[in-house]
């Protein structure tokens, strides 16, 4: 029974704990034992905290036995990306420079999860400061894909995605600054949501006004993402974009979803000039047929306004240069070469370049608003091919169906970055399997603050596609 608990969704665990059919102690012990056993193979944790977790599980069990009121996630273990502050638990940001950093307070999101009874079991791997789409760093090495140890986990929330996909935690906390939740979710076949800007307050953002990063849920099924979002959402004084935000009954929306009747979906395959693997294109085409069979009306969307790499490069890299430029000058010998190389890309940008990029960001936002004015969702592939080789160089060439391309970012995930810039909610979930047996992801984008609709649509697709019960056999891998 114990090992079986590692694969129960959070919604099932929640009900079983409330009925006293299983104990928070039993569940937490099971996932900790599995995490300890598989960590050497997967390398998805930087820190495990078994003593703290078992202490909290025992307290959660006592509360249930006393019949006390409990939160949405009472007694449910979770893993947290090591970019997010956790009081009293080491938080390294994937950097040797913060190897011994222990925060004195929780991020707002973590405080809320604690309040709802969730139990932290450990901190998951990330590229240094979440800086790239691959999860490796000098502090811990490389994190392996849950389905194939020779492939990348994606990034920068690779550890959280692998932990969830492998049954080491039913749910996880990730972050997404350009696709960092959705990329590894797609690589590992799990559900990754980047919610509307401000719906979940970001208490660690240094430039909260111009923010494009999000603290997000990641899970194995849409209902668990809905449950997490319900606990995480709502306004906080630290984040002006959260003003007026209210958590809704996202779980009820996901669990009651049956069809997409009356919904209009715009779709596109790739921005102009970008490649796509044939197996990804095939899975995407069959996904569009499935959405149509669920009642949706489909219309193809021009993709010409979504080639935003130049805009992204100016906005993102100048932010990093401002945050980490001095650190790189003083401690570059202890930092990731790929991170230093990205900082160098911002060397020649001016203040005028940055402001013009923000003008272009506004135009992109208005374009997406116009597209969603008469339509409910946008559907696009999450990634242009399945998970890359584990040794992929961020600045190396990208292989798609035997053709080599010069840039990983704009050719592998051109559809994730636009919605960080615009703030619209976007969710990825498995829509098929590639020729290599690895997951293929579908991304659905919704209207601002309409997560209820987006989660319902994703849940309807998930149920119809029937991939949610298919999980990797980690222990059989060599």
Task: Output the domain CATH number for residue 144.
Answer: 3.90.1300.10
pLDDT of residue 2: 82
Q: Using pLDDT thresholds of 50, 70 and 90, give the confidence band for residue 383.
A: very high
pLDDT of residue 478: 65
Both tokens of 60, joined, read 């959660």
Asked whether the beta carbons of 145 and 438 are under 8 A apart, the reply is yes
- β pairing state of 297-300 and 214-219: unpaired
114 CB-near residues (< 8 Å, 6+ apart): 106, 120
- List the alpha helices (DSSP H) in 294-347: 309-331, 337-344
Query: Using one digit for the tens of pLDDT, what is the confidence trace for 16-69?
Result: 999 999 999 999 999 999 999 999 999 999 999 999 999 999 999 999 999 999
Cα–Cα separations (whole angstroms), residue 377 to 264, 268, 374, 384, 386: 7, 12, 9, 20, 24
pLDDT of residue 1: 58
- β pairing state of 191-194 and 214-219: antiparallel
Query: Mean pLDDT, to the nearest integer, of 171-197?
Result: 98
Query: Mean pLDDT, to the nearest integer, of 269-273?
Result: 93
DSSP tag of 97: G
Mean per-residue pLDDT of the chain: 96
Asked whether the beta carbons of 283 and 431 are under 8 A apart, the reply is yes
pLDDT of residue 152: 98
Q: What is the pTM of this model?
A: 0.98
Question: How many separate domains does the chain show?
Answer: 1
Q: Using pLDDT thresholds of 50, 70 and 90, give the confidence band for residue 200.
A: very high
Determine the Cα–Cα distance for residues 254 and 10; give it in Å rounded to an integer.
14
Q: What is the 3-state secondary structure (H, E, C) of 108-152?
A: HHHHHHHHCCCEEEEEECCCHHHCCCCCEECCCEECECCCCCCEE
- Does the structure show a pLDDT above 90 at 477? no
pLDDT of residue 11: 98
Asked whether the beta carbons of 354 and 154 are under 8 A apart, the reply is no
Query: Using one digit for the tens of pLDDT, what is the confidence trace for 396-424?
Result: 999 999 999 999 999 999 999 999 999 99
Both tokens of 330, joined, read 């003083």
Determine the Cα–Cα distance for residues 125 and 146; give it in Å rounded to an integer.
14
Instruction: Among 228-232, 288-292, 344-348, 361-365, name the one with the lowest average pLDDT.
Output: 344-348
Closest of 441, 442, 445, 463 to residue 454, by C-alpha? 445
Asked whether the beta carbons of 101 and 142 are under 8 A apart, the reply is no
444 CB-near residues (< 8 Å, 6+ apart): 265, 377, 378, 379, 426, 427, 428, 429, 454, 457, 458, 461
Torsion angles phi and psi, residue 285, rounded to 5: -60, -45
Q: Over pLDDT 70: what percentage of the chain?
A: 100
pLDDT of residue 248: 98
Query: Mean pLDDT, to the nearest integer, of 346-357?
Result: 92
Asked whether the beta carbons of 444 and 457 are under 8 A apart, the reply is yes
DSSP tag of 26: H
Higher pLDDT, 298 or 475: 298
Cα–Cα separations (whole angstroms), residue 53 to 6, 71, 296, 390, 455: 15, 17, 44, 31, 30
Burial (CB count <10 Å: 0-12, 13-18, 19+), residue 183: buried
Determine the Cα–Cα distance for residues 141 and 396; give it in Å rounded to an integer.
18
- Does the structure show a pLDDT above 80 at 14? yes
Determine the Cα–Cα distance for residues 58 and 75; give it in Å rounded to an integer.
9
Range of the structural domain that residue 145 is part of: 2-476
Q: Using pLDDT thresholds of 50, 70 and 90, give the confidence band for residue 345.
A: confident
Both tokens of 421, joined, read 């810039």
């Amino acid at each position: 029974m114990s090992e079986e608990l590692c694969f129960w969704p959070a919604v099932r665990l929640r009900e079983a704990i409330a009925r006293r059919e299983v104990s928070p102690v039993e569940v937490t012990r099971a996932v900790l034992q599995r995490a300890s056993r598989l960590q050497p193979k997967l390398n998805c944790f930087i820190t495990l905290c078994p003593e703290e977790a078992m202490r909290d599980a025992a307290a959660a069990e006592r509360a249930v036995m006393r019949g006390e009121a409990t939160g949405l996630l009472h007694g449910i273990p979770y893993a947290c990306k090591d970019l997010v502050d956790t009081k009293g638990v080491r938080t390294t940001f994937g950097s040797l420079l913060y190897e011994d950093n222990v925060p004195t307070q929780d991020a707002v999101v973590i405080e809320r999860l604690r309040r709802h009874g969730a139990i932290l079991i450990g901190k998951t791997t990330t590229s240094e400061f979440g800086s790239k789409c691959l999860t490796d760093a000098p502090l811990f090495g490389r994190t392996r894909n849950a389905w194939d140890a020779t492939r990348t986990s994606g990034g920068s929330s690779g550890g959280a995605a692998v932990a969830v996909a492998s049954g080491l935690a039913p749910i996880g906390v990730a972050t997404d600054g350009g696709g960092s939740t959705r990329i590894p979710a797609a690589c590992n076949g799990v559900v990754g949501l980047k919610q509307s800007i401000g719906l979940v307050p970001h208490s660690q953002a240094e430039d909260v006004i111009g923010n494009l990063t999000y603290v997000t849920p990641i899970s194995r099924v849409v209902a668990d993402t809905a449950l997490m979002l319900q606990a995480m959402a709502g306004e906080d004084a630290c984040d002006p974009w959260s003003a007026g935000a209210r958590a809704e009954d996202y779980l009820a929306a996901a669990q009651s979803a049956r069809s997409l009747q009356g919904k209009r979906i715009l779709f596109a395959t790739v921005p102009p000039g970008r490649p796509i693997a044939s197996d990804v294109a095939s899975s995407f085409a069959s996904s569009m047929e499935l959405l149509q069979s669920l009642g949706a009306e489909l219309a193809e969307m021009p993709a010409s306004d979504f080639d935003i790499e130049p805009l992204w490069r100016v906005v993102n890299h100048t932010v990093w240069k401002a945050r980490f430029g001095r650190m790189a000058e003083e401690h570059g010998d202890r930092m990731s070469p790929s991170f230093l190389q990205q900082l160098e890309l911002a060397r020649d940008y001016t203040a005028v370049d940055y402001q013009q990029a923000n003008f272009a960001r506004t135009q992109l936002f208005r374009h997406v608003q116009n597209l969603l004015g008469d339509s409910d969702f946008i559907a696009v592939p999450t990634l242009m091919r399945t998970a890359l080789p584990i040794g992929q160089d961020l600045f190396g060439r990208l292989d798609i169906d035997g053709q080599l391309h010069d840039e990983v970012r704009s050719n592998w995930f051109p559809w994730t970055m636009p919605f960080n810039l615009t703030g619209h909610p976007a969710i990825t979930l498995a829509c098929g399997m590639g020729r290599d047996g690895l997951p293929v992801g579908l991304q659905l984008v919704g209207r601002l603050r309409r997560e209820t609709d987006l989660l319902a649509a994703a849940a309807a697709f998930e149920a119809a596609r029937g991939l949610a019960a298919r999980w990797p056999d980690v222990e059989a891998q060599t």
